[in-house]
Chains A and B, each alone.
Chain A
Amino acid sequence: MSSTDVNVSDEYQYGFSDPEQFVFKSRRGLDIEVVRDISRMKNEPEWMTEFRVKALGYFDKRPMPAWLANPALDDLDFENIFYYLRSTEKQATDWNDVPDDIKNTFDRLGIPDAERKFLAGVTAQYESEVVYHSIRADLEKLGVVFTDMDTGLREYPDIVKKYFGTIIPPNDNKFAALNSAVWSGGSFVWIPAGVRVEIPLQAYFRINAENMGQFERTLIIAEPGSFIHYIEGCTAPTYSSDSLHSAVVELIALEGAHIRYTTIQNWSKNVYNLVTKRAVAHKNATVEWVDGNLGSKLTVKYPAIYLVGEGARGEVLSVAFAGKDQHQDAGAKIIHAAPNTTSTITSKSISKDGGRTTYRGLLKVYEGCEGVKSNVRCDALLLDDQSRSDTYPTMEIDENNVEIGHEASVSKVGEEQLFYLMSRGLTEEEATMMIVNGFFEPFTKELPMEYAVELNRLLAVEMEGSIG
């Protein structure tokens, strides 16, 4: 990354944009023609076109979710969004084949560098399409599939048809319906039985154009006894008008499989991030959502895990940071639908400069699911009096023979803590930063080292100059 073209003192480091280029761009707004155009251009099978059209119907019918009661959503104008933008004719497997502007962007985001150093595979999505994808040859030999969703649909139609939209049906919620109608890109991952991919795969999502809508669709299937760690990152330029990101992510962990899905969401503060993420864990399978939300104007996201097989384990570990004009409405849903299943939810949020965080959680245990163990913990840290945090934990426990723990706290950075650290030579800013990093430590320690370093650096940028 060249230091001359990145202004590190900017509050948001990735707010730069490239000149817009495209080989196809849909007009503003959404109707059945836009949906059919997307499907036609992708040469999709009939069932997918129908799937999209039906989903559009659900999207049109459904009102905005009233329970969100979020005034920020009033500014979201679906008619002002571009729903599809293809910037390049073909997908590259070599960075040198990626158009220069786009390659430079990913260089500045450090993706090719990270790929060389510590990733087993990368997909890079720019606007609506994946422009680059690679996977280590040894994994390919083992039969691991890691590609973009469109290619997945073309090359693995049976697997896709079997699972696509089954975990999150198109009419699940308004935003899932929207994604189902106009989805493009995202990852398709299939891990053969017994294969353990010990090095993470990463997908990177970049929005470049103004008023862009990005609707990637990710489907990960881990066959019995397999392991995969999938990481996603996302950024966008800072524009004065809004963009929309609405993804759908479906995970299937078959018997004894283990999926860890890590997100570092760092959208610019003009992006609505309305995402539906859900996983199913079969017998003795494990699913972990490690979900970090730093950016966006409004994030609405509650990663969910359905524990449907005996002995399945689910964990949602999430952090949210809301600065000025930001609202992180995040949480977790865990459904215990089988006996002896276990789950943990840990949610940590920080609000500053009037930022707002909301935790919404659902813990459900069906009758007959004996031996369920679950622990829920939500902690909120407020850095000033203008900031806000709300917690809405819901528990529906229909079985008696279970162990459920729940703790919640809201705290402010304490004067005594600051004084203690300052008495050891730290400035007020450094002391606050240390308290913030410590607060997020249960999350950070679960990240690969490079990401933990990056997260702490991003937090430092967010905290900069905030101490009055």
Chain B
Amino acid sequence: MPEAAPLLYIENLHARIEDKQILNGVNLTVNLGEVHALMGPNGSGKSTLSNVLMGHPKYIVTAGRVLLEGEDLLEMSADERARKGVFLAFQAPMSIPGVPVVSFLRTAMKSVRGVDVPIREFRKELRAQMSALQMNDQFISRYVNEGFSGGEKKRFEILQMAMLQPRLIVMDEIDSGLDIDAIRVVSEGVNRLVGPERGVLAITHYQRLLDYITPDHVHVLVGGRIVRSGGKELAHELEAEGYDRIIKETQPEEVPA
């Protein structure tokens, strides 16, 4: 691969779910070391974009391309993408009854890293990450997301992220349903992962997450396309004025391709 290939390159991405066209030409580039925030009102296509990036079979890409460090991401199944270093922190992660957190994590690590991590090393790493996220030891024997509170689910997503050490982190409304304390713990977990070896795309409805996770770039998604991009000041502007003005400004656009 040429050295210059960006971590994530999205070009003219169109996607639908069932008969509903949702993404109408998204263009976005995320480089290693960068944190991007993608903001937008409800129904703008934020969750669709995250699902398309992870490869959810229900979402059909109708045009455009997505490259991960130069490789065609859309050709890959969800598990292949995970093994290539894509991680999606879910807004509403599924519970898997009867599967203990610890064996789930170990299997995921083995799958993503391609080698079995020795159990002692694994435990040590797990313990360190859990204490950083203020999670107690009993957590590991609970079943995946079964009976977890909203905050526990989000922490567990961050824990997985920390253990799997992905290249591209996509977070779908990781702040939804969290109180300020939980947002802080979760954000600190994310911030520990930010660095030159990975890139972050944080999808959020509200600006408040960006008080804790500082983006290098902010994009506004409306009607399935990015209508504005800017620095972190754009988030503050949105906070002050809401989405309405941007929606109005960008409404009279040409018909999507």
Contact = CB atoms under 8 A, between A and B. Distances in A.
Contacts of A417: 94, 96
A428 B81 CA distance: 13
B82 A414 contact: no
B111 interface: yes
Contact of B79 (A414, A426, A434, A437): A426
Contact of A420 (B81, B94, B112): B94
State which size class the interface on A falls in. 20 to 34
Contact of B83 (A425, A431, A434): A425
B36 to A, nearest CB: 20
Given A419-B78, A420-B90, A438-B143, A426 B107 contact: yes
A182 B83 CA distance: 59
Interface stretch (B52-60, B204-212, B216-224): B52-60
B195 interface: no
Interface residues of B, number: 29
Interface SS, A side: helix
- Which of A431, A434, A438: most chain B Cβ within 10 A? A438
A306 interface: no
A440 interface: yes
Contacts of A428: 77, 79
B164 interface: yes
A425 B94 contact: no
B160 interface: yes
Interface string A416-435: 11011111111110110011
Interface in B190-206: none
Nearest to A411: B97
A439 interface: yes
Contacts of B96: 417, 420-421, 434-435, 438
Contacts of B112: 424-425
Interface string A388-428: 00000000000000000000000000111101111111111
Given A416-B94, A434-B104, A425 B99 contact: no
Interface in A268-292: none
Contacts of B94: 414, 416-417, 419-420
Given A420-B90, A438-B143, A415 B58 contact: yes
- Which of B55, B79, B82, B83: most chain A Cβ within 10 A? B79
B252 interface: no
A425 B98 contact: no
Interface SS, B side: mixed
Interface string A153-168: 0000000000000000
B41 to A, nearest CB: 24
- Which of B54, B99, B112, B160: most chain A Cβ within 10 A? B99
A441 B98 contact: yes
Contacts of B88: 423
B182 interface: no
A423 B98 contact: no
A423 B97 contact: no
A438 B111 contact: no
Contacts of A422: 55, 77-79, 82
Interface in B94-113: 94, 96-99, 104, 107-108, 111-112
A225 interface: no
A415 B58 CA distance: 9
Interface string B32-62: 0000000000000000000000111110000
B93 interface: yes
B111 A426 contact: yes
Nearest to A420: B94
Contacts of B97: 438-439, 441
A112 interface: no
A424 B98 contact: no
Given A416-B94, A417-B94, A435-B96, A426 B143 contact: no
A438 B79 CA distance: 20
A417 B99 CA distance: 12
9 closest residue pairs by CB, A with B: A438-B98, A425-B111, A441-B98, A438-B99, A424-B108, A425-B82, A422-B78, A425-B112, A420-B94
Interface of B: 54-58, 77-79, 81-83, 87-88, 90, 93-94, 96-99, 104, 107-108, 111-112, 143-144, 160, 164
9 contacts: A422-B55, A425-B83, A427-B79, A430-B111, A434-B99, A435-B96, A438-B96, A438-B99, A440-B98
